Structure 1
Amino acid sequence: MSTDHIAYSDTNYFTPLILDYLSEKESLEHLYHRFPKIENFRAQIDEKSQSYNNFVRKDLVEVLKEQYADLKVSEATSGNIDLLSSDKTFTVVTGHQLNLFTGPLYFLYKIVSTINLTRKLKEEHPENDFVPVYWMATEDHDFEEINFFNLHGKKFKWNNAEKRAGATAVGKLSTEGLEEVFKLFSSEIGGGTNAEELKEMFQKAYLEHNNLTDATRYLANRLFGKEGLVIVAAGDSRLKKHFSIHIKNELLNESSSNASQAAIDSLQEQDYKVQVNPRDINLFYLNDEIRERIVKKDAQYFVHETEISWSKEEILAEVDAHPERFSPNVMMRPLYQEVLLPNLCYIGGGGELAYWLQLKNYFEAETVVFPMLLLRNSALLQTAKQDAKRRKLDISLKELFLKQHELINRKVRKISNINIDFSEQKEHLIQQFQQMYELAEKTDKSFIGAVKAQEVKQLKGLDNLENRLLQAQKRKLKDEVERIAALQNDLFPNRSLQERQTNFSEYYDEYGQGLIERLLKELDPLDANFKIITFGKE
């Protein structure tokens, strides 16, 4: 069993913003606080120690113990919850939606990255303790993003009446209707020890818990509890009350959109895509029936598409009485997380880091320490047989990540007994036309357009001829082309990264708990490379 890696820039799947962040491009330095190098954590610990409100710890531990009351809690997790009472304890956090049966593979990679970083920090700073935290996105409401998972190329989808627009947060959704998904999953996964464990996992998570929050907590605890993972659902009023001052500031001053605008302008000036465009007020109103955004018109506050409204005094009183009813959206949720937790570092995917990079000024305006931002580990899982096929086809790891038509064209050219590359002929043609441009310049400039048209026509003719010859050679090498395509399709389902498509159960069925053990061994959160992890023997 081997592990290889390539640079993120060689995968062709990561945005310029994330690649520039990883290379610590100077023009981005004002958008983050400290880069996540092991030597930078001492300063982050000291700064968080001085600024964090340690009175929050009591409520945090109390709520966590209640949330875990009906679960079988490992000694490691129980110990970590207790450790959160100490002002010497800090967290590393990842967050994720409540995807059905964890969703794509990268759910595992996020949590493994988080666990492994806390272990590295403990080795480096033994005088402190570090707790890995999974922040459940219980207050999201996009049901269509989370109601399915992919197994063996098939989509297993949960159809639920509560998915209607304007429904409440997904964490409150009843698990009713998942019996049918369980039956289909059980039939697909088949038999065997690991398959039976997966079926039991699904059944206990979704058929023996009443809502999606409790089901997801059970599942994440089942997979990572023995590693000490602590799972937070942060909607409790005892926790939200610590965020009340920031909720009020948002309502009164539209603080998140105003403070983040400079960062948004900076990203746009550098031609980066802006991940999130803030609203004037980045809060939702949440109860058992709805989660709808709050808007302000003149001096009144309204819940969008409802009859609920308040004056300024009334809405501030509502915050005091029911802080749990005010749900931060993507712009404010990071701030809530950092107010609530003694956190040092947030671990997320490229899209998450992109919107965090919009927020540093907002954190400063709210006098909350901005965490380090670390790109989660990414990996491609393959069997030894697949790796052997790749090597037999003479495909390098870097080539494996090319778009399929690029990969096939490159390999066809390489294995052909004729050279189907007209680059030299095209260059020669361009040089010939350069002479014609010079001649037209000296005689009659009106002919320059005609020369240009003829150059374009002839270059296009060479392109067409090259492509026709290439297609003809592909037909001659049909068997080779099909094997190349089949291998890449196996490793890149739907022409996408495996980690964004395939559910963990496909690999757990084969390797059981050994899958997670291998990930814990191989995924180094501070190694900024894309991993290729090989399982089994040829």
Structure 2
Amino acid sequence: MNIVQEPLPTGQPLAEALIQDFSQVSHLYQYNPADDNSWSERLKWLDQSDRLRVGRKELVTQLREFNLKHNPHEAVTRHLDQLEQPGTAVIVGGQQSGLFTGPLLVIYKAVTIIKAAKEAALKLNRPVVPVFWIAGEDHDWDEVNHTYVLSQDLQVTRIRIAHEHEQGLPVSWSELSAESWEQVAGELEQLLPETEFKSGLLELYRHSATSSVTLSESFAKLMGHWFGKYGLILLDSAATELRRLEIPVFETMITRNDELEEAYLEAAHDMLRLGHSLQADARENGANLFYIHEGERLLLFKQEGKFCDRKEKVVLTKQELLERLHDHPERFSNNVLTRPLMQDSLLPVLGTVLGAGEIAYWGLTRGAFRRLDMQMPILLPRESFTLLEGTLQKHMDKYSLRWEDVKDREVFQAKRETWLSGQDALHLSERFDEIKVAFTGMYDPLIEQLGGIQAGLTKLGNANRDKIIDQIDYLRGKAKDALEKSNEAGLRHFDRIELSLFPLGKPQERVYNIFYYLNRYGADWIDDLAVIPYDVTGKHRIIYL
């Protein structure tokens, strides 16, 4: 397996500045991840601020229960034992619980968390354990109910689990039927080519599904299967037992909500003033909290001294909201701006692994951390990879294609057209151009002369000329279709390159699911990922398989 660093812009200036020029964004972020002093300073602050977080023993008790059920590995138990002890820090990152674990970037995030924790432990001579935060409280079912694989006939194919999900219900609360699990298993089985790994993969999925009630549970079992041996602790943010531990944190968020709102709005104003677009919605009068009412997760706002949703299905005073919190903590959850505060109130977070978009919206939270006498943790870019299979590499070499050619769609299409033109021994394009020029050169003077005989003949002549040109273009198109058909094998090579590396016009890691690659290369491929040297910059790398 060969690994080469190749640029792939994130489109997020804040994320790129975090690593490349921290001075540009030091007003938005607390620590420079590339500076060793940041790590020791953050660890020192964690030691001094343990009182600000929920009790370690109570938290670990809940995590033990969840991991024993879905992620029962000795390495996880050892890390939980360490987390229970004062002084142990955490590297954390998270994602929604997608079907078959969702796109590849989820796997890369888990790998980054594990490697960053190991690196930090060596750097600081202190236990640092990896934690994956499953965002089971999220309610956008359409984001998690599907995944993509590349079919054998070169189609980017979506597998979607059929389920009548109640609008607004957290994913971890939505129970799936045996028929739903089996439906997607059948689709996956049809799409994956026959390999020595296929039957084992399908058995793994079916085991995770039949022993799960929700998508979050299946997600946890799969992640535990692949990463439990590395000691990756799993946390479901929607767990009821966890909510009870979070009551004091939600209480603070409610009683000091105006201060938090002010901090978010100030940060949003600063970012816009500096020309940055907002990756999260910092709204005036926004409470930045969700309340679950009759199975629907409602975003709360403040209006005339009360907390309510947009349609006023819920209207509560601050005192009433606090009473509900103590009676029914499971009804409360965070949005993207308060989730970082909750994460750091639960865990001794040394660093958090984030995608580029997440880094951008975390820039809105530093003031909110300060208002609660907290500090933003070190932000660590998720490692980014593109998998380039051996046959694909041969195709690229054959057609003299470089990475730069493929990542720019316009350049790639131009290369494709240039290659196809090179297969045209008759030089059809030039000949059709010549014919059109010659035809109009002879016909236009005639039309002009006909106009001298009768004015109406000019209009008729122009229409007639245009019809003939349309017919020439029609024949030209048919000739090109025939040329493409006669060079179908080469064009399929171009299609395979594009669809493998940039499906749907997006980086591979944002679309394809891990099962496609596990089916081709086996589970050892994940272990190979884990031993690739950690890169704190998160710069994009190509893995030549």
Q: For 2:391 and 2:276, locate their aligned partners in 1 and report how far apart those are by CA, in whole Å.
A: 40
Distance 1:309 1:506, change over 3 A: same
Q: 1:17: which partner in 2?
A: 14
SS at match of 2:197: helix
Matches within 5 A, 1:93-492: 93-126=92-125, 128-152=126-150, 153-162=156-165, 164-165=166-167, 167-176=168-177, 177-189=180-192, 191-236=194-239, 239-252=242-255, 253-279=257-283, 280-286=286-292, 289-305=295-311, 307-403=313-409, 405-409=410-414, 483-492=493-502
Distance 1:411 1:494, change over 3 A: closer
Q: 1:36: which partner in 2?
A: 33
Q: 1:75: which partner in 2?
A: 74
Q: CA shift at 1:488, angstroms?
A: 2.3
Q: For 1:197 and 1:288, locate their aligned partners in 2 and report how far apart those are by CA, in whole Å.
A: 41
Q: CA shift at 1:389, angstroms?
A: 2.1
Do the aligned partners of 1:172 and 1:212 also contact (CA within 8 Å) in 2? no
- Could you tell me which runs of 5 or more consecutive residues in structure 2 were left unpaired when the two chains were aligned: 151-155, 423-476
Q: For 1:368 and 1:168, locate their aligned partners in 2 and report how far apart those are by CA, in whole Å.
A: 31
One-letter code of the match for 1:129? P
Do the aligned partners of 1:237 and 1:322 also contact (CA within 8 Å) in 2? no
RMSD: 2.8
One-letter code of the match for 2:261? S
Q: CA shift at 1:525, angstroms?
A: 3.5
One-letter code of the match for 1:265? H
Do the aligned partners of 1:239 and 1:340 also contact (CA within 8 Å) in 2? no
Do the aligned partners of 1:168 and 1:287 also contact (CA within 8 Å) in 2? no
TM-score by structure 2 length?
0.81
Deviations 1:149-205 (A, max 9, x none): 11222111012112x43x321111112222211222223335544212221222122
SS at match of 1:386: helix
Do the aligned partners of 2:172 and 2:238 also contact (CA within 8 Å) in 1? no
One-letter code of the match for 2:94? G
Bigger Rg, which one: 2
Q: 2:64: which partner in 1?
A: 65
TM-score by structure 1 length?
0.82
SS at match of 2:341: helix
Q: For 2:25 and 2:242, locate their aligned partners in 1 and report how far apart those are by CA, in whole Å.
A: 33
Q: For 2:276 and 2:117, locate their aligned partners in 1 and report how far apart those are by CA, in whole Å.
A: 32
Do the aligned partners of 1:175 and 1:211 also contact (CA within 8 Å) in 2? yes
Q: For 1:412 and 1:187, locate their aligned partners in 2 and report how far apart those are by CA, in whole Å.
A: 33
Q: For 1:214 and 1:347, locate their aligned partners in 2 and report how far apart those are by CA, in whole Å.
A: 22
Do the aligned partners of 2:381 and 2:537 also contact (CA within 8 Å) in 1? no
One-letter code of the match for 2:203? E
Q: CA shift at 1:247, angstroms?
A: 2.6
Distance 1:302 1:408, change over 3 A: closer
Deviations 1:117-163 (A, max 9, x none): 1111122222x11111100101000000110011222111012112x
Q: CA shift at 1:88, angstroms?
A: 1.9
Q: CA shift at 1:364, angstroms?
A: 0.7
Distance 1:291 1:476, change over 3 A: closer
Deviations 1:442-491 (A, max 9, x none): xxxxxxxxxxxxxxxxxxxxxxxxxxxxx9xx999965776445422332
Q: For 2:303 and 2:329, locate their aligned partners in 1 and report how far apart those are by CA, in whole Å.
A: 22
Identity over aligned pairs, percent: 25
